[in-house]
C-alpha cells in the first residue's frame, strides 16, 4: 500500500515534470517571477514573526505588494497562455500593457501606505 | 430606415442609429433623475435637510476653507463634547471630498458657486450618474434594451429618491453610485477577462470604501458570487482575473482610508474575501494541473493530495476557529452582527437600536419604496435564468441578498433599489421584446404568403402559448414606448436576416413563440398603463413624501398651509443672544445644525432629578439646555417620545438609572399615573414647565392625556426662550449662589424671571452643600 503510494507519487512527479517542460519559455519566466515574489513574501512573514509587527502598515504593504504582483503575474500568464481558448484574440502587447498599468497602481498605493 | 443596399450596411446603419438613440435616451434619463429630486428646492428653498447632513456640511466647509492637509489632521472639539472627535479618522471622507472637489473645480473655472449650493445639489447629480451606471451594469447582464429600462427605473425609484433628494447631503448620495459602478466594473471584468477593467474595479471599490460603511456589502457579495461560480462548476480564468487582483488591491486601498485602517485585515467582515481568495487559488491550481496531466495521473494526484491535505486543512481550520472564538464578538462589529441577528442590537447595543432607520421595515413600505418593481422582480429572476450566465447569476445573488438585508433594516431598502431596478428592467425588456417581436412576426407573416402556405404548425398551438405569455406579461410593466420598440425591432430584423439562412427550422420556432397580434397589442397597452402608474407614484412620492426638509414643518389647516418654522426661530435666537463659546445641551441629532455652539449629549442628565442634572451640566460647563417639545402642536418626534431611548442608553452606562423606575405597567406615562421618578426627571420638568398656562388643563396633544404634575417651579433652571408653537424651549442654568448659608437646609424657591439676568445672586438652594 505504501509502496504503491510511493510509486504513484514518483510517477506523478515524473509526469508533472514532463508536462511542465513542454510549456513555452515566456510562461516559464513568468512562473519564475511568481515564485520569486511568493518567496519574498514568505521571507517577510518570517521576519515579522521574529522581530514583531510594529509598523504594521509597513508589514502589510510589503507582504501585499509581493502577493499583489504575484497575482498580477498569474493573470498575465493566463492571458498569454496559448492553450487558453478565451484569450486567443488578445494581443500579448495589450496583456502586458494591462499588467504594467495594474502594477503601477498597486505600487503607487504601496508607496502611499508604506509610511 | 430599412432600405439599404446590402444587409451588412443596413445592419450597421441600424446599429449606429440605435447607438445615437440610446445616447439621447441616457441624456434624458440623467435630466429626469436630476429634476425629480428638485421638489424641495422649488417648494421651500435651497437648504440642507435633516440634521445629520449639517455635520457633513460643516466638515465640507472646513475642507474648503482650510485645505486638505488640515482636514486630515482636524480634531474637532465641538462635536461629541466633551470628548471631541478626530474628524480625519472617524469620518468617511468620500462625500466631503467629492463635494469639495466639485466646488474647487467650479471656482477654478470662475463659476462662483457657494459651498452650500454644491452640497445641496451633489445628490441629484450623482443620482444621474447612478442611473448611467445602472444602464452599463444591466447592459452587461442582459443587453442595451434592458439597460435603458433599468436606468429609467432607477432614476425614479422612490427609495433612492428618499435618500438623495436635493438637500439631503448624506453619504448615500454618492455611495449608491459607487456601489453600482463597482458592480458594473466587476461584471465587465468577468465578461471580458481584461486586467484593465480589474484595475478600474479596484479603484471604484476604493471610492466606495471612502464613501460609506456599506462597502462591506460589496466585499462580502463578490466573494459569495465567486464561491457560487466555483460550486456550480463555472470556474474560468476570467473569474480569477476578476477576483484576485480586486482582493489584493482592494484590501490595500481599503486600509488606506483612515476610518477603516487595519480593520481591513483584522475584522471578520473581511475574512470572507480572504477565505475565498485561498479557495480560488486552490481551484485554479487544480484546474491548471488537470489541464497539463493525463486523466489517469490526475486521479492519482487527487488521491495523494486529498489524504495529505485533509489533515493539514483540519489543523488550520481548528487554529482559525480558536483565534476567532477568543474574541468576545467573534471579531464582528456590532452593526454587522445586528444584520445577521436582527435582535442583537436591541439586546446589547441600545444606541444602535434607537436609530429609527435601523428598525425592520413594514410590508407597506416595500410598496411605497419600490412600487411596481416588487412584482417585476420575480419575473426578472426567471428571465435571468434563460440563459444563465456569470453576470446574470451575479444579478440574482445581488437581489436575493439585498432583499434579506432590506428586511432587517429599513435603511437598507436603499441597497435593494438598484437590484430591483435591474431585475425589473430585465423583465420589462424581455416581455416587451416578446410582444413586439410577435407583432412584427405576425405582420411579416401576414404580408408574406409563402410563410402561410408552407407552415405545418396549426393555429391552435398559438393560443396556448399566448395565454401563458399573456399571464406573464400582465404582471409586468412597461416604459418608453417608441424608442424601445425601435430597438427591439432592429434586433429582431437583424435576427430575421439570419433566419433566412435556415428557413424552416427557425420559422417554425418563431411561429411557435409568436403571439396573436391582438394579444400582443393588448399586452403592450397594459404595460404602458402600468408604467404610467409607476411614474405617477414616483413623482407623488418625490413631491409629497420625501421632499420636506425636516427643519421646517408644514400642515394643512382649513385656512391654508401653516408653516412651523420653530427650529430656525430657536436657532436664530441662539445665534443672536448667546456667545460663541457657550455650550448648549440637547438631545439627539439637533445639534449639528448650528456650528457656533458646542453640543453635548446628556442622556443621563435628562433622566435625573433637577438638582443632579444641574450638577452634571455644570461639570461640563453647559450653559443652556435645548428641549424639543411637541405637545402643543402634536409634533410626534419630540424629546419626550425619545425619552425611552435616553433612559435605556443612560441605563446602559450608569446602572443607577433603572428603566422600571420610569414605567407604570410597562408604559412610559406622563399623566397622573406616572411614576414619581418620571415626574421629577429633568425631561418632564423642562418640557412641561408652564404648559398649563396654554389651555388651562395641560393637555398634551401627542400623548393625548393631561399631564400629571401641572404647577411646579424650576429651581435650577430658568426659561429664556420658547418658540411660537412651543416646539423649542431653551433654558439657562442658574449660577450657584455666591454666599453659602450656614445651615444646609433647603431654601424656598422663588418664581423665576423669564429672560436671563443672572448677575445678582439669588436665594436658592445651593447645590454644593
pLDDT confidence band for B364 (50 / 70 / 90): confident
pTM (predicted TM-score): 0.78
Using a CB–CB cutoff of 8 Å, tell me whether B308 touches chain A. Answer: no
Closest chain A residue to B242 measured between Cα atoms? A75
Using a CB–CB cutoff of 8 Å, tell me whether B286 touches chain A. Answer: no
**Cα-flanking dihedrals φ and ψ of residue B154, to 5°?**
-70, -30
Return the SS3 of B664: strand
Residues in chain B closer than 8 A to A109 (CB atoms): 249, 252-253, 256
B687, B607 in Cβ contact below 8 A?
A: no
Q: Which of these, B447, B446, B429, B421, lies nearest to B491 by C-alpha position?
A: B429
pLDDT confidence band for B335 (50 / 70 / 90): low
pLDDT, greater one: B638 or B743 = B638
Q: Does a structural domain hold residue A17?
A: no
B622-628 vs B583-586, strand pairing mode:
parallel
The pLDDT of A88-112, averaged and rounded, is 91
**Cα-flanking dihedrals φ and ψ of residue B104, to 5°?**
-65, -40
Query: In this structure, how many other beta carbons lie within 10 angstroms of the beta carbon of residue B257?
Result: 19
The pLDDT of A91-114, averaged and rounded, is 92
CA distance B713 to B718: 9
B642 pLDDT exceeds 60? yes
| Nearest-by-Cβ selection for A109 from B256, B265, B292 | B256
Q: CB–CB of A75 and B301 under 8 A? A: no
Long-range interactions of B596-602: CB distance < 8 A, separation 24+? B597/B78, B598/B77, B598/B78, B598/B79, B598/B81, B599/B78, B599/B79, B599/B81, B599/B626, B600/B81, B600/B82, B601/B80
User: Residue B118 corresponds to which cell in the numbers above?
Assistant: 454644491
**Cα-flanking dihedrals φ and ψ of residue B372, to 5°?**
-65, -25
Q: Does a structural domain hold residue A46?
A: yes
| Nearest-by-Cβ selection for A109 from B195, B236, B252 | B252
B421, B157 in Cβ contact below 8 A?
A: yes
Q: How many CB pairs under 8 A join A and B?
A: 100
pLDDT score, position B640 = 76
Q: CB–CB of A12 and B265 under 8 A? A: no
B115 pLDDT exceeds 70? yes
CA distance B202 to B242: 10
A62 pLDDT exceeds 60? yes
Using a CB–CB cutoff of 8 Å, tell me whether B653 touches chain A. Answer: no
Using a CB–CB cutoff of 8 Å, tell me whether B266 touches chain A. Answer: no
Q: CB–CB of A78 and B237 under 8 A? A: yes
Q: Does a structural domain hold residue A62?
A: yes
What's the N-to-C CA distance of chain B in angstroms? Answer: 95
DSSP-assigned letters across all residues of B143-209: -HHHHHHHHHHHHH-HHHHHHHSTT--STHHHHHHHHHHHHHHHHHHHHH--HHHHHHHHHHHHHHH
CA distance B561 to B654: 45
Residues in chain A closer than 8 A to B203 (CB atoms): 105
Mean pLDDT of chain B: 77
Percent of chain A with pLDDT over 90: 52
Q: Which of these, B191, B151, B160, B181, lies nearest to B425 by C-alpha position?
A: B151
Q: Does a structural domain hold residue A81?
A: yes
Q: CB–CB of B193 and A98 under 8 A? A: no
Q: Residues B143, B148, B153, B154: what is their CA dihedral angle, to the nearest 10 degrees?
A: 90
pLDDT confidence band for B524 (50 / 70 / 90): very high
Q: Does a structural domain hold residue A94?
A: yes
pLDDT score, position B458 = 38
Residue-wise pLDDT tens digits, B46-68: 777 766 788 888 888 888 888 88
B478, B528 in Cβ contact below 8 A?
A: yes
Contacts of B348 (CB under 8 A, 6+ apart): B334
**How far is the CA of A86 from the CAs of A89, B89, B210, B243, B563, in angstroms?**
8, 45, 35, 17, 65
- SS3 sequence, B459-526? CCHHHHHHHHHHHHHHCCCCCCHHHHHHHHHHHHHHHHHHHCCCHHHHHHHHHHHCCCHHHHHHHHHH
CA distance B566 to B724: 7
Q: Does a structural domain hold residue A11?
A: no
pLDDT, greater one: B86 or B65 = B65
Mean pLDDT of chain A: 88
Using a CB–CB cutoff of 8 Å, tell me whether B195 touches chain A. Answer: yes
- SS3 sequence, A29-40? HHHHHHHHHHHH
Q: How far is B644 from chain A (nearest CA, A)?
A: 43
Q: Does a structural domain hold residue A99?
A: yes
B671, B707 in Cβ contact below 8 A?
A: yes
Which residue intervals of B212-333 are DSSP H helices? 215-231, 237-256, 263-266, 271-292, 295-326
Query: In this structure, how many other beta carbons lie within 10 angstroms of the beta carbon of residue A16?
Result: 15
User: Residue B22 corresponds to which cell in the numbers above?
Assistant: 440610446
B598 pLDDT exceeds 50? no
Q: CB–CB of A113 and B255 under 8 A? A: yes
Cis before B387 (ω within 30):
yes
Using a CB–CB cutoff of 8 Å, tell me whether B283 touches chain A. Answer: no
B751 pLDDT exceeds 50? no
Q: Does a structural domain hold residue A13?
A: no
B380 pLDDT exceeds 80? yes
Residue-wise pLDDT tens digits, B19-41: 899 999 999 999 999 999 888 88
Return the SS3 of B598: strand
Percent of chain B with pLDDT over 70: 73
Residues in chain B closer than 8 A to A98 (CB atoms): 194-196, 199
Query: In this structure, how many other beta carbons lie within 10 angstroms of the beta carbon of residue B122?
Result: 26
CA distance A24 to A22: 6
Residues in chain B closer than 8 A to A79 (CB atoms): 193, 195, 241
Using a CB–CB cutoff of 8 Å, tell me whether B292 touches chain A. Answer: yes
CA B150 to chain CA centroid, Å, is 18
CA distance B305 to B292: 17
pLDDT score, position B127 = 94
User: Residue B26 corresponds to which cell in the numbers above?
Assistant: 441616457
Q: How far is B378 from chain A (nearest CA, A)?
A: 33
Domain that holds residue A64: 24-114
Of the listed ranges B171-180, B252-261, B278-287, B485-494, the least confidently predicted one is: B485-494
**Cα-flanking dihedrals φ and ψ of residue B721, to 5°?**
-160, 135
B212 pLDDT exceeds 60? yes
Q: Which residues of A touch B (CB under 8 A)?
A: 5, 8-9, 11-12, 15-16, 19-20, 22-23, 56-57, 60-61, 64, 67-68, 71-72, 74-76, 78-79, 83-84, 86-87, 95, 98-99, 101-102, 105-106, 109-110, 112-113
Number of domains in chain A: 1
Angle, CA B554 vertex, CA B550 and CA B556 arms, to 5°: 150
A37 pLDDT exceeds 60? yes
CA distance B753 to B719: 8
Instruction: For cell 512527479, name the residue.
Output: A13
Amino acid at each position: 500500500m505504501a509502496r504503491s503510494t510511493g510509486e504513484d507519487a514518483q510517477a506523478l512527479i515524473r509526469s508533472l515534470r514532463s508536462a511542465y517542460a513542454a510549456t513555452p519559455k515566456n510562461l516559464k519566466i513568468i512562473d519564475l517571477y511568481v515564485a520569486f515574489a511568493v518567496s519574498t513574501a514568505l521571507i517577510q512573514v518570517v521576519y515579522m514573526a521574529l522581530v514583531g509587527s510594529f509598523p504594521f502598515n509597513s508589514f502589510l504593504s510589503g507582504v501585499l505588494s509581493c502577493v499583489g504582483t504575484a497575482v498580477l503575474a498569474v493573470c498575465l500568464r493566463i492571458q498569454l497562455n496559448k492553450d487558453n481558448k478565451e484569450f486567443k484574440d488578445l494581443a500579448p502587447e495589450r496583456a502586458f500593457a494591462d499588467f504594467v498599468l495594474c502594477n503601477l497602481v498597486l505600487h503607487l498605493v504601496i508607496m502611499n501606505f508604506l509610511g | 430606415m430599412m432600405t439599404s443596399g446590402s444587409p451588412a450596411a443596413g445592419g450597421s446603419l441600424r446599429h449606429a442609429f440605435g447607438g445615437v438613440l440610446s445616447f439621447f435616451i441616457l441624456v434624458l434619463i440623467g435630466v429626469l433623475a436630476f429634476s425629480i429630486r428638485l421638489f424641495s428646492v422649488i417648494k421651500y428653498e435651497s437648504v440642507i435637510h435633516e440634521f445629520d447632513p449639517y455635520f457633513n456640511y460643516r466638515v465640507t466647509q472646513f475642507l474648503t476653507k482650510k485645505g486638505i492637509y488640515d482636514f486630515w489632521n482636524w480634531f474637532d472639539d465641538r462635536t461629541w463634547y466633551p470628548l471631541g472627535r478626530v474628524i480625519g479618522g472617524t469620518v468617511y471622507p468620500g462625500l466631503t471630498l467629492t463635494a469639495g472637489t466639485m466646488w474647487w473645480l467650479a471656482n477654478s473655472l470662475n463659476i462662483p458657486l457657494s459651498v452650500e449650493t454644491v452640497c445641496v445639489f451633489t445628490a441629484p447629480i450623482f443620482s444621474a450618474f447612478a442611473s448611467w451606471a445602472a444602464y452599463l451594469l444591466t447592459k452587461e447582464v442582459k443587453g442595451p434594451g434592458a439597460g435603458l429600462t433599468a436606468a429609467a427605473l432607477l432614476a425614479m425609484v422612490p427609495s433612492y429618491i428618499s435618500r438623495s433628494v436635493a438637500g439631503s447631503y448624506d453619504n448615500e448620495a454618492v455611495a449608491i453610485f459607487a456601489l453600482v459602478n463597482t458592480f458594473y466594473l466587476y461584471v465587465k471584468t468577468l465578461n471580458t477577462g481584461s486586467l484593465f477593467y480589474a484595475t478600474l474595479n479596484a479603484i471604484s471599490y476604493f471610492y466606495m470604501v471612502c464613501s460609506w460603511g456599506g462597502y462591506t456589502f460589496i466585499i462580502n457579495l463578490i466573494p459569495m458570487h465567486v464561491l457560487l461560480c466555483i460550486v456550480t462548476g463555472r470556474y474560468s480564468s476570467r473569474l480569477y482575473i476578476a477576483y484576485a487582483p480586486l482582493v489584493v488591491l482592494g484590501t490595500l486601498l481599503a486600509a488606506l482610508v483612515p476610518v477603516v485602517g487595519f480593520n481591513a485585515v483584522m475584522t471578520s467582515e473581511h475574512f470572507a474575501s480572504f477565505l475565498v481568495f485561498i479557495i480560488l487559488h486552490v481551484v485554479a491550481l487544480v484546474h491548471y494541473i488537470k489541464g497539463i496531466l493525463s486523466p489517469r495521473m490526475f486521479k492519482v494526484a487527487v488521491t495523494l493530495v486529498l489524504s495529505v491535505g485533509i489533515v493539514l486543512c483540519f489543523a488550520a481550520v481548528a487554529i482559525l476557529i480558536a483565534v476567532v472564538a477568543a474574541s468576545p464578538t467573534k471579531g464582528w462589529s456590532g452593526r454587522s452582527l445586528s444584520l445577521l441577528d436582527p435582535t442583537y442590537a436591541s439586546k446589547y447595543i441600545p444606541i444602535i437600536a434607537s436609530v429609527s432607520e435601523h428598525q425592520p421595515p413594514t410590508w407597506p413600505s416595500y410598496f411605497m419604496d419600490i412600487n411596481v418593481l416588487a412584482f417585476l422582480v420575480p419575473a426578472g429572476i426567471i428571465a435571468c435564468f434563460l440563459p444563465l450566465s456569470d453576470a446574470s447569476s451575479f444579478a440574482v445573488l445581488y437581489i436575493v441578498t439585498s432583499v434579506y438585508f432590506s428586511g432587517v433594516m429599513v435603511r437598507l431598502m436603499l441597497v435593494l433599489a438598484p437590484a430591483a431596478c435591474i431585475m425589473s428592467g430585465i423583465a420589462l425588456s424581455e416581455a416587451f421584446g416578446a410582444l413586439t417581436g410577435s407583432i412584427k412576426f405576425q405582420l411579416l407573416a401576414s404580408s408574406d404568403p409563402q410563410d402561410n402556405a408552407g407552415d405545418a404548425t396549426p393555429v391552435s398551438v398559438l393560443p396556448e402559448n399566448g395565454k401563458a405569455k399573456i399571464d406573464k406579461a400582465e404582471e409586468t410593466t412597461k416604459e418608453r414606448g417608441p424608442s424601445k420598440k425601435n430597438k427591439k425591432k432592429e434586433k429582431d430584423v437583424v435576427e430575421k436576416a439570419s433566419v433566412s439562412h435556415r428557413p424552416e427550422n427557425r420559422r417554425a420556432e418563431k411561429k411557435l413563440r409568436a403571439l396573436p397580434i391582438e394579444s400582443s397589442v393588448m399586452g403592450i397597452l397594459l404595460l404602458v398603463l402600468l408604467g404610467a402608474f409607476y411614474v405617477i407614484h414616483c413623482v407623488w412620492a418625490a413631491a409629497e413624501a420625501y421632499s420636506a426638509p425636516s427643519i421646517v414643518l408644514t400642515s394643512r389647516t382649513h385656512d391654508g398651509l401653516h408653516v412651523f418654522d420653530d427650529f430656525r426661530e430657536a436657532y436664530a435666537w441662539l445665534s443672536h443672544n448667546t456667545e460663541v463659546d457657550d455650550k448648549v445641551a440637547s438631545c439627539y441629532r439637533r445639534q449639528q445644525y448650528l456650528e457656533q455652539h458646542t453640543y453635548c449629549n446628556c442622556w443621563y442628565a435628562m433622566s435625573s432629578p433637577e438638582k443632579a442634572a444641574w450638577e452634571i451640566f455644570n461639570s461640563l460647563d453647559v450653559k443652556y439646555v435645548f428641549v424639543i417639545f411637541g405637545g402643543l402642536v402634536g409634533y410626534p418626534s419630540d424629546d419626550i417620545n425619545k425619552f425611552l431611548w435616553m433612559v435605556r442608553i443612560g441605563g446602559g452606562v450608569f446602572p443607577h438609572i433603572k428603566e422600571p423606575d420610569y414605567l407604570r405597567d410597562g408604559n412610559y406615562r406622563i399623566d397622573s399615573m406616572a411614576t414619581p421618578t418620571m415626574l421629577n426627571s429633568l425631561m418632564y420638568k423642562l418640557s412641561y414647565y408652564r404648559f398649563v398656562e396654554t389651555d388651562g388643563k395641560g393637555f398634551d396633544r401627542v400623548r393625548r392625556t393631561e399631564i400629571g404634575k401641572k404647577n411646579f417651579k424650576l429651581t435650577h433652571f430658568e426659561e429664556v426662550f420658547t418658540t411660537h408653537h412651543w416646539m423649542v424651549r431653551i433654558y439657562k442654568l442658574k449660577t450657584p449662589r455666591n454666599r453659602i448659608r450656614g445651615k444646609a437646609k433647603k431654601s424656598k424657591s422663588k418664581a423665576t424671571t423669564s429672560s436671563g439676568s443672572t448677575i445678582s445672586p439669588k436665594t436658592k438652594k445651593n447645590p454644593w452643600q
